[in-house]
Structures are given as C-alpha cells and as structure tokens.
C-alpha cells in the first residue's frame, strides 16, 4: 500500500504529538520535581503546574482525542483506496489546525483557539463522511 497524503499527515500528526509531549513534560518535570516523578504517583503532586504548562498539557491531551478519529479516517481512506485531492486537502487542514492549536491554547487565544479546534474537527468529520461515500 502506498503512502497516501492522509497517511503522511497521520505520521506527521503523531510526530506533533511527540513534540507536544516534550513541550509540556520538560517544564512540568521542573515544576513538580523529581521526588514526585520517581514515586508511584498514587496522589496528586503537591505543587500545581503553572498556567502555560497546564495549558500545554491540556492541548496534548486534546490532540490524543482528535488523533484517534483522524487516524481512523486516514487509515480507512488509505486501505479502501479512496485517497483524493479532496481527502488530502482535509488531512492537511487537520494537521495545520493541530499545529496552530498548540500556541493558541498555550497563549490563551480566545475565541481563536476554539475556531482552530473546530477547523481540525470539521476536517476530520469530512474525512469520515468521505470514507463512507
């Protein structure tokens, strides 16, 4: 099976998830401290994350949720041979929205953050619908 644009974007989105992990994990580890990180984590940390780091964590978690649906759409389109210019377009819109969403969330861009999220979500919905046609 060839690498379709949707699968390429899926791999890039997974790499974005790795970058997002590092972007929140490093400051979170500094803020929370090594004693908690080396523990069994049976209780919440004694210190809270600062606002920006907490936002980066929420953006990371949110991307997991979006990545599941996008991954389903990308794989179904690739496996069924339905890749087209239109599906490739929606895949790239999803990725661009997810990339822009990270600073939008971290910096508190409102209502821009929600509009950016909606662009990525609607692109995923479009891909899922196109997979059924």
CB atoms within 10 A of CB 119: 17
pTM of the model: 0.92
Write out the residue range of the structural domain in which residue 73 sits. 5-32+50-132
Where residue 101 falls among pLDDT bands split at 50, 70, 90? very high
Whether residue 125 is contained in a domain is answered as yes
Per-residue pLDDT, 44: 85
Whether residue 91 is contained in a domain is answered as yes
b vs e for 62-76, b when ≥16 Cβ sit within 10 Å of the residue's Cβ? bbeebbebbbebbeb
CATH number of 60's domain = 1.20.120.550
Structure-block tokens of residue 83: 């890749």
Per-residue pLDDT, 39: 86
Residue 87 to residue 3: CA distance in whole angstroms:
14
Per-residue pLDDT, 47: 84
The pLDDT of residue 114 is above 90: yes
CB 63 within 8 A of CB 16: yes
Where residue 37 falls among pLDDT bands split at 50, 70, 90? confident
Condensed to tens digits (0 to 9), the pLDDT of residues 76-94 reads 999 999 999 999 999 999 9
Residue 101 phi/psi, 5° resolution? -65, -35
């Amino acid at each position: 099976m060839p690498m379709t644009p949707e699968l390429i974007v899926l791999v890039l989105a997974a790499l974005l998830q790795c970058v997002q992990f590092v972007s929140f994990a490093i400051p979170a580890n500094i803020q929370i401290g090594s004693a908690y990180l080396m523990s069994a984590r049976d209780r919440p940390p004694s210190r809270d994350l600062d606002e920006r780091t907490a936002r980066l964590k929420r953006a990371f978690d949110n991307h997991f949720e979006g990545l599941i649906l996008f991954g389903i759409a990308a794989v179904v389109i690739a496996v069924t041979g339905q890749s087209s210019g239109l599906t490739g377009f929606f895949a790239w819109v999803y990725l661009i929205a997810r990339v822009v969403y990270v600073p939008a969330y971290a910096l508190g861009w409102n209502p821009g953050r929600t509009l950016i999220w909606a662009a990525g979500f609607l692109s995923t919905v479009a891909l899922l619908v196109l997979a059924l046609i």
